Structure 1
Amino acid sequence: MERKTKVVIVGGTGYLGQHLLQAFAVNNGRDRYDVAFTHHSSPLPRRLLDAFLHFPAFPVDLKSGLGLNSITKDFGQPDVVVNCAALSVPRVCEQDPDSAMSVNVPTSLVNWLSTFETNNTLLIHLSTDQVYEGVKSFYKEEDETVAVNVYGKSKVAAELLIKDKCQNFAIVRSSIIFGPQTLSPLPKNLPIQWIDSSLKIGETVEFFHDEFRCPIYVKDLVNITLNLIDRWVASDHKQMQLVLNAGGPERLSRVEMAQVVAEVGGYDLSLIKPVSASSVDRGVVSPADISMDITKLIQTLEISPTSFKDGVRLTLLESESQNLP
């Protein structure tokens, strides 16, 4: 019988982490993969435990690395580690830069990988479009990374660490991630659901007309990750050093995102009030235009990311089914 590929998802209770676990659970992943995940919050929500009973869960403190050796001892040396864990709210990172750097720069994780007997473990690391300065459109992977806030700077530092210390890695620079709620609902507002709920009750909401992103549908990001894992498993030489922009196919302002939600939901467009990003103090500098060129992603992985409108439609459809009694 062929040996299963061991995959560890670091930050499995977060938004992307839960969607990855769900994909492994529903796609007969158990036939090909042994999957484990880490978590920082305790106790784990009952819904999450019930949904992923067959996936071992390990409490891990990324700041200190406490708990990582338990994975090697009880689960075994992983073939692939997917790092989804991060302090990802820019304002929070600005308020506590020490925590942002200690969590977002995965020193303990990289040190743990370096203790393995063989160097055949692939690290897939989730980075961000905020590594770019935001002074032009459609950044390419080889463009200089000049972050303007602590969150972006912590992610630049993480990328440099991984490139320096890891033999095999895929760094995935994600834009805003949107999609349906997780099995164990997260306390934070999800972008599409928040816009939809505001417009649904007839609330006038301000959106920036001069801040541009390439929002990506969460299931596309899941497919990108699974694609990278499959390529790694199929590779004979076990060599990968890859940086990919992972955005959706469109450059959109916040206003344009809201307008698409209004169009899909059938809401009054006049509820959307365009304002300049410079008119609001968010407690953190935010890059103006970090839209990304995703040509390399499409050519390397042979995928076509979902359009924003289709992603919004799928998100709202799933949200409706989740809310049914």
Structure 2
Amino acid sequence: MMRKKRVLVVGGTGYLGQHVLQGFSEIQATTLCDLALTHHSNPPPPALLTAFPHLLSFHVDLKTGQGFQAISQTFGPPDVVINCAALSVPRACEMDPAAAMSVNVPSSLVNWLLSLEESNSLLIQLSTDQVYEGAKSFYKEDDETVPVNVYGKSKVAAEQFISEKCSNFAILRSSIIFGPQTVSPVPKSLPIQWIDGVLSKGNASEFFHDEFRCPVYVKDVVAAILALSKRWISDGKQTRLLLNVGGPDRVSRLHMAETVADIRGYNPSLIKSVSASTVDRGVKSPADISMDITKLVQTLAVTPTSFRDGVRLTLSTEVKS
């Protein structure tokens, strides 16, 4: 009897990590896979362990690599590894560049995978649209990476490290990920829920009209990860792939807020248009890092959800206060 495939989600207690676990758990019976996660700051909350009762969890320090040996011994060499762990708040990265580099460049993870004799894992690495300079619209994967902040620089360094060391990987440059809350709610602020919360109180708020992104619905990111994983598990063909993973719409922060207001029926006069140049966020932010996602659609046959539909799906899960 063929053994089950092993899927390891690094940073599995975070926002994307929990959605990835949900996606794999829903297809678990058909793809015959065992699931494990790593965590660092906090152990997996009871709600997460209840939702995924067969899930194994491991405490891992990405800076030192401590904890990976326990995965080898208890879980075994993974067939697919999805690295969702990161210091992803640009201002925090700017304040501590050494920490950003030590966590965001997954050297301990890659070195552990290379040390496994029986393993030929597919590594799916989450990168960011912030690797681009932000000087034009609709960046393609082969455009030059000229990050303007430490977060972007750490992710470029991660991409280069993986490309040099690994023979089987997919790097996904994600835009702002939005969608419903997770099984075990994460403490960080979620973009659509935050906008909804501010506008629901009737407070006037400022939103940038000149900073553009291609926000991506979380379940579309999961769909891309599942498609890559299934392909590797079924045909065993190694890949060296780099994909932009954004939504189909180039939107400003102002447009994001206007969409939430329109769907919820809030007064549009609460939304004040301002330039990003008027606010000092303690970190340089690229102006336009919208992405061309043609390669994603063609390679994985994933059709990302429109921004408006994604917002509608997100808000349908939130109780209006």
Class of the TM-score when normalised by the shorter of the 2 chains: over 0.9
CA distance in 1, matches of 2:248, 2:259: 14
Shift of 1:119: 5.5
- 1:280 is matched by which residue type in structure 2? V
Rate the CA distance shift 1:21–1:271 in 2: closer, same or farther, 3 A. Answer: same
Contact kept, 8 Å, 1:179 with 1:217, in 2: the verdict is yes
- 2:289 is matched by which residue type in structure 1? I
> Given the alignment of the two structures, is residue 101 of structure 1 paired with residue 101 of structure 2, yes or no?
yes
CA distance in 1, matches of 2:243, 2:314: 25
Aligned to 2:235: 235
**Structure 1 residue ranges without an equivalent (≥5):** none
Aligned to 2:259: 260
Rate the CA distance shift 1:119–1:6 in 2: closer, same or farther, 3 A. Answer: closer
Shift of 1:265: 0.7
Aligned to 1:270: 269
Aligned to 2:136: 136
Q: Secondary structure at the match of 1:300?
A: helix
Shift of 1:189: 1.1
1:266-314 Cα offsets, whole Å, 9 max, x none, are 1111111110000000000000000000000000011110001110011
1:76-96 Cα offsets, whole Å, 9 max, x none, are 001110000000000000011
Aligned to 2:162: 162
Shift of 1:13: 0.3
> Given the alignment of the two structures, is residue 250 of structure 1 paired with residue 249 of structure 2, yes or no?
yes
**Structure 2 residue ranges without an equivalent (≥5):** none
Contact kept, 8 Å, 1:24 with 1:30, in 2: the verdict is no
Shift of 1:41: 2.2
- 1:188 is matched by which residue type in structure 2? K
- 2:245 is matched by which residue type in structure 1? A
CA distance in 2, matches of 1:301, 1:27: 17
Aligned to 1:50: 50
Aligned to 2:74: 74
- 2:114 is matched by which residue type in structure 1? S
CA distance in 2, matches of 1:47, 1:214: 31
Aligned to 2:308: 309
Aligned to 2:176: 176
CA distance in 1, matches of 2:94, 2:28: 41
Shift of 1:118: 4.4
Contact kept, 8 Å, 2:134 with 2:286, in 1: the verdict is yes
Contact kept, 8 Å, 1:119 with 1:167, in 2: the verdict is no
CA distance in 2, matches of 1:230, 1:23: 12
Shift of 1:31: 5.5
Contact kept, 8 Å, 1:177 with 1:218, in 2: the verdict is yes
Aligned to 2:286: 287
Aligned to 1:318: 317
CA distance in 2, matches of 1:42, 1:266: 38
Shift of 1:198: 1.1
CA distance in 2, matches of 1:244, 1:71: 29
CA distance in 2, matches of 1:30, 1:317: 29
CA distance in 1, matches of 2:287, 2:129: 11
Aligned to 2:124: 124
Shift of 1:29: 4.5
Aligned to 1:15: 15
Identical-pair percentage = 66
Aligned to 1:210: 210
- 2:98 is matched by which residue type in structure 1? D
Aligned to 1:5: 5
Aligned to 1:226: 226
Contact kept, 8 Å, 1:175 with 1:246, in 2: the verdict is yes
CA distance in 2, matches of 1:23, 1:160: 28
- 2:303 is matched by which residue type in structure 1? S
Contact kept, 8 Å, 2:77 with 2:118, in 1: the verdict is no
CA distance in 2, matches of 1:218, 1:184: 16
CA distance in 1, matches of 2:3, 2:274: 56
- 2:137 is matched by which residue type in structure 1? S
More deviation, 181-190/142-151 = 181-190
TM-score, with length taken from structure 2: 0.97
Contact kept, 8 Å, 2:48 with 2:184, in 1: the verdict is yes
> Given the alignment of the two structures, is residue 88 of structure 1 paired with residue 88 of structure 2, yes or no?
yes
Q: Secondary structure at the match of 1:61?
A: coil
Shift of 1:44: 2.7
